[in-house]
Structure 1
Amino acid sequence: MLSRVKTLSVNQFTLITALFYVGVFNIPLFQIVQQGIEKQGEVNYLFIATIPLFLIFALSFIFSLFSVKYLLKPFFIIVTLISSSVFFAALQYGVVFDYGMIENTVQTNSAEALTYLNWSSILNFTLTGLLPALLIFKADIVYKPFVKELLHKLAFMFAMLAGIAVIGFFYYQNYVAFGRNNDQMKRYIVPTYAIGSMIKYVKVNYFQEPLVYKVQGKDAKNLTLDHNDKPNLVVVVVGETARAHNYEYYGYDKPTNAHTKAYDMIAFKDTESCGTATAVSLPCMFSSMDREDYDARKAQAQDTAMDVLDHAGISLDWLDNDSGCKGVCDRVKHINIDLNSDPELCDGHYCYDQVLLNELDKRLAEGVTKDTLIVLHIIGSHGPTYYLRYPEAHRKFVPDCQRSDIQNCSDEELMNTYDNTILYSDYIIAQVISRLEAQQNKADTALLYVSDHGESLGESGMYLHGAPYAIAPDEQIKIPMLAWLSADFASDNGLDKQCLRDHATKGGFSHDNLFSSLLGLMNVSTEVYRKEKDLFATCRVK
């Protein structure tokens, strides 16, 4: 970028840097522009030609604010390294770094982060991050005396504003209309959108005064023992990155639910997630707030469904083989699986979800003497290294994609790999049900499975998840939600299973249903319970 220039003025550096950002880092933005053009009937190509010019003028103006002595090099080195990663994520996976993705990235553990490390990402970071950063570091920038430098900078910034004004004068209406029809464009502008999201995250999490903690459901009462001879034992399996599209129960043409088909599963159709990343969806789904009014800060400062169940005296366990419970289980008994705990199931970075069955066996061996709810947080279909989520014995769909740079696999390989993760999760669910059946002389047993969010697998050029909810495709928000009830559980808790099957086919469900559904399943009475949100209330006969 700068290798052919021996010395540069500040304005020259600023303009060259802006040109580089527009020409390289904003390639994903121009792909969105192209998609917008293809949707239009008539296209004003003179207007389209002004878009890169407008971006050059705008970035040059913004960059000028930071092109000052002592700040210039460290600032642009850091921003360039960040922009390189943002660019790669957008180009290869269609990922947008908004507030939710920043939150999800911050909460990602080192083992999870390493799955995104491959030759493609290393090469990109070297060519578009490290090399430009080195050239910035070595650039010989000549600074004029203060007053003269200031005047030159102001003149440059005025020229950039003049360029923006001229474009606006001729094409303002075009920009307004095109921007309204392609609102997602602003999210792909590098580096402004990602940097803005980072600033917002830091402000919200580190500079705002913590909210006063809100206790909910202190009036919670467990009504089960008023009419049941046996305690209830419910296992909630929280899936990771499972999308409804690849579930046989929802019409998929491959046997991805072969293991649970032997059981009388109830599949709730047309279910939507609260978010498109675990850091958002997990606390949201266990919160008393609905997605429309969900606020992450408030969620962190108030009781979750787990806490309300605890107030009612329910015995609780959270067993985690994913990236933690994101605050949901902080005040109840919980275990994060030791990644070195089982040499056959763990490699020090990840464990197969089968390791949770071992922990469940230990918990059940202790005996169930009171109403109990156990949460299994599985790693499920976490990408991009889908092939690491299932053992060789469960590699049923081949050829599969045995690499992390999934964009370089064929569509068939990628889909087979993902389907193997769904099938393996189905195996885990079936194994849990088998264990619950073995407990039926001691307890009334049931299982609820729900995924935190879905996944894009190359549709419309998008991969993985974390898209802003407003523009997220169905692949990222349509999720599976399944239930299994033993005959005694249904009978003793007054639930009509045929009614539930019929109700489940109606659709229109979401994570908003989980909070009250858990309270309803455990027969907990409290003022924070909302009957209209309880999945099972419609079919409760006593």
Structure 2
Amino acid sequence: MLSRLKSLSSNQFTVILALYYVCVFNIPFFQIVKQGVEKQADVNLVFIATIPLFLIFALSFIFSIFSFKYLAKPFFILLTLMSSSVFFAALQYGVVFDYGMIENTFETNSAEAMTYLNWASVLNFVATGVVPALLIYKANIEFKPLAKELLYKLALMATMLIGIGIIAIFYYQNYVSFGRNNDIIKRHIIPTYFIGSTAKYININYLQEPIKYKPLGLDAKNITNKQNDKPNLVVLVVGETAREMNYEYYGYGKPTNAHTKGQGLLTFKDTHSCGTATAVSLPCMFSRMDREDYQSRQAKAQDNAIDVLNHAGIGLDWLDNDSGCKGVCRNIDNILIEHDSDPDLCNGQYCYDQVLLNTLDDRLSTISSKDSLIVLHIIGSHGPTYYLRYPDEHRFFTPDCQRSDIQNCSDEELMNTYDNTILYTDYIVSQVVKKLQAKSEEFDTAMLYISDHGESLGESGMYLHGAPYAFAPEEQTKVPFLGWFSAGFAKQNKLDLSCLAKEAEQGDYSHDNLFDSLLGLMNVRTEVYQQDKDIFSNCRQ
């Protein structure tokens, strides 16, 4: 469009750009508006018709601030390319780029980012990002002398404000009411919301003065009082993107827990995550702070559960086949699996979780004779390339979805692929239990498995994860939580397993319980320990 015009004034350029953003990039926004309208019994069609006008006026006003010579082209080229990617994620997967998603994006490694690359995403980026960016680059924008340019710009901005004001005069109450009933719609406006979230993230993490570090649990002590001399050995498997509803243990109709059946695992029901993305959930679940008062910046400036266990002298290891521990394991021995470390299990971009079993074997062969906790952070069910999370010999549910543009797979294919990842994770957990059973002569052993967050698989048009928690569906917030305890561990640590089975059945748990439950399970006491949040405390004899 821009290339056909001989020349454009900066005001014309601004309005055309605003029209493009409203008509293309804000399609997901209007889909949310449509859903809100459908929920209303009485719809004022004229009010609905003013919404795109309001958005054009508002974006034209905002864009005018940046439509100056030497700034306009580089700024809007970059903004358009960024908006194109955000638009695709919002349109295809229902992703909202709030602060948590921006945090997750900044902490995503290159291998993980590549899983989102497919023909659909590339074509979208070219069509809605690269081509408009080239048109912006080639556009002949005529800027007047500075004083005159400012006057023309102020006139445009005033006109846009008048338009907004007229709409407000007639429909202010409609906007207030509609906004309150559909609060999520503002999160879908492109580019204002993702730019605001990005600015907030940069300000908090790079511009604000660092918070003074706060150590916790320096008084922590291991109060184990056992009749034998065998140390405790606990393996905590932290899952990735596993949702409760696809677990056979929670009533799912497919055999997704076939490998651990018969191993005597306890199933803790109705467990909720701390966030809907790894960058939030992982540090939150180990933090002393609960979900409702969790703040990433503060969490990074204080000790977590792993640190408190370290203060108590517990042996600690973190073995990672995902995107890193997000700072949780910063003060202990940790291994991030290299993606070329095993030619049979890795391809240079990712590894199957079986690689962690080999690493666990190495660690178990040299583990010290003291109470120890080993964390396995698996890649689990990370999407959208679910089919890359399990080897062919574990491809049980077919037909599956062998592509990353999962929105183009059938519901059956997509669910089968995801279920294969759950079944493969179940295999990994079963192998961990077997390895712990083999160590029963040397250690009293136990295993916990819990996922960091869930996943949407097309329900209500949503895919993947990362939705704002207040609006996130249960698919993204309800997670599996499993436990296995050897007879020796239960006896020597005075843990009544029949009592614990009843507690697990009652449910109502969350990531908020993990901090104190880990301390309790490892017999660590400190002033920061809260017994009422320790899920094992009621079943200690």
Query: What interval of TM-score do these two structures reach, taking the shorter chain for normalisation?
Result: over 0.9
Matches within 5 A, 1:148-297: 148-225=148-225, 227-297=227-297
Give the whole-Å Cα distance in 2 for the aligned partners of 1:55 and 1:524: 56
1:352-377 alpha-carbon deviations (Å, 9 max, x no partner): 00000001111111144110100000
Deviations 1:135-171 (A, max 9, x none): 0000001111222221111111111001000111111
Distance 1:295 1:239, change over 3 A: same
Give the Cα separation in 1 of the matches to 2:539 and 2:403: 46
Secondary structure of 1:322's counterpart equals: coil
User: 1:226 deviation in Å?
Assistant: 5.4
Q: Cα deviation per residue 1:455-493 (whole Å; 9 max; x = unaligned)?
A: 000011110001111111110000001000011111111
Aligned mates of 1:265, 1:171 — CA distance in 2: 58
Superposition pairs for residues 20-39 of structure 1, below 5 Å?
Answer: 20-39=20-39
Aligned residue number for residue 519 of structure 1: 519
Match of 1:346 in 2: 346
Q: How does 1:486-501 map to 2 (within 5 A)?
A: 486-501=486-501
**Identity score, percent:** 72
Task: Give the TM-score taking structure 2 as reference length.
Answer: 0.99
Residue 489 of structure 2 aligns to a residue whose secondary structure is helix
Number of the residue aligned with 1:436:
436
Say whether the 8 Å CA contact 2:236–2:375 is kept in structure 1: yes
Given the two structures, how large is their TM-score scaled by the length of structure 1?
0.99
Q: Do the aligned residues in 2 keep the contact of 1:368 with 1:442 (CA within 8 Å)?
A: no
Tell whether the 8 Å contact from 2:243 to 2:455 is kept in structure 1 after alignment: yes
Contact 1:274–1:291 (Cα < 8 Å) also in 2: yes
Q: 1:528: how far off?
A: 0.8
| Secondary structure at the counterpart of residue 470 of structure 1 | coil
Encode CA deviations 1:147-196: one digit per residue, 9 max, x unaligned. 22211111111110010001111111110010001000000000000000
Aligned equivalent of 2:472:
472
Q: Which amino acid aligns with 1:390?
A: Y
Structure 1 Cα separation of the partners of residues 378 and 148 of structure 2:
62
**Which residue does the alignment assign to 2:409?**
409
CA RMSD of aligned residues (A): 0.8
Any unmatched runs of 5+ in structure 1? Answer: none
Aligned to 1:69: 69
Between the aligned partners of 1:270 and 1:5, the Cα distance in structure 2 is 60
CA distance in 1, matches of 2:147, 2:293: 51
What does residue 365 of structure 1 align with? 365
Quote the Cα distance in structure 2 between the aligned partners of 1:519 and 1:331: 17
Question: Which residue of structure 2 aligns with residue 107 of structure 1?
Answer: 107
Does the aligned pair in 1 maintain the 2:271–2:478 contact within 8 Å? yes
Q: 1:447 to 1:294 in 2, by over 3 A?
A: same
The one-letter code sitting in structure 2 at the alignment partner of 1:56 is I
Partners of 1:94 and 1:462 within 8 A in 2: yes
**Counterpart Cα distance in 1 of 2:5 and 2:333:** 62
Equivalent residue, structure 2, for 1:137: 137
- 1:443-482 equivalences under 5 Å are 443-482=443-482
CA displacement at 1:229 relative to structure 2: 2.6
Q: Distance in 1 between matches of 2:354 and 2:487?
A: 26
Q: Secondary structure at the match of 1:448?
A: strand
Alignment pair present for 1:81 and 2:81:
yes
Q: When the two structures are aligned, how many residues end up with a matched partner? A: 541
Deviation at 1:508, TM superposition (A): 1.3
* Bigger Cα displacement from structure 2, 226-235 vs 161-170: 226-235
Equivalent residues of 1:231, 1:368 under 8 A apart: no
Structure 1 residue 4, shift from structure 2 partner: 2.2
Distance in 2 (CA, whole Å) between partners of 1:417 and 1:212 is 46
Once residues 50 and 227 of structure 2 are traced to their aligned partners in structure 1, the CA distance between those partners, rounded to angstroms, is 73
**1:218 counterpart letter in structure 2:** L
* Deviates most, 227-236 or 336-345: 227-236
Report runs of 4+ in structure 1 exceeding 4 Å deviation: 225-228
Deviations 1:173-225 (A, max 9, x none): 11001000100000000000000011111111111111111111111111125
